[in-house]
């Protein structure tokens, strides 16, 4: 995350996590390694901006995690869209409602009436 945060709050979050990177679990050497305060659960998912959802992470670890977040966020949005009925997957199996054909019990297919 790139939002500005006071050094006091950064230090409080760093201390609360014993200076450990929440992504790789290694100790962060604050004097030699670049780190930033990061959302544990992506902010776009939870809108949780409290200290409980914040932890220090190496900048390098964060860079590798973010592309995964994007996929996770996209999936969460799809799941939510499905949940409210805005989007539903259509099965393309022959005879299913996703196709314009209907399979009859005797094995022949016919066009579904509109």
Residue nearest to Zn ion (CB): 21
- In whole angstroms, how close is the CB of 57 to Zn ion at the nearest point? 6
Cβ of residue 62: shortest distance to Zn ion, in angstroms? 8
CB-based contact 95:102 (threshold 8 Å): yes
Nearer to Zn ion, 54 or 61 (CB): 61
- Count other C-beta atoms under 10 Å from residue 94's C-beta: 11
Considering the complex, what minimum distance in angstroms separates the CB of residue 66 from Zn ion?
A: 13
Tokens of 93: 């199996």
Q: How far is the CB of 21 from Zn ion (least distance, A)?
A: 3
Beta carbon nearer to Zn ion, 63 or 81: 63
Nearer to Zn ion, 20 or 103 (CB): 20
DSSP string of 24-89, one letter each residue: T-PBP-TTTS-EEEEESS-HHHH---SGGGEEEEEHHHHHHHHHHHHHHHHHHHHHHHHHTTS---
> Would you say 31 or 84 has its CB closer to Zn ion?
31
Residues that bind Zn ion (CB under 5 A): 21, 23-24, 58, 61
CA–CA gap between residue 18 and residue 106 (Å, rounded) = 69
């Amino acid at each position: 995350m790139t939002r500005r945060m006071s050094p006091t709050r950064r230090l409080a979050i760093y201390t609360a996590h014993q200076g450990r990177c929440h992504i790789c679990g290694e100790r962060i050497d604050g004097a030699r390694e670049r780190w930033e305060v990061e959302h544990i659960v992506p902010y776009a998912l939870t809108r949780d901006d409290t200290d409980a959802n914040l932890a220090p992470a190496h900048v390098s670890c964060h860079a590798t995690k973010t592309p995964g977040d994007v996929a996770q966020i996209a999936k969460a949005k799809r799941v939510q869209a499905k949940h409210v009925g805005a989007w539903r997957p259509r099965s393309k199996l022959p005879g299913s409602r996703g196709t314009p054909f209907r399979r009859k019990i005797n094995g022949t297919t016919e066009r579904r009436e509109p």
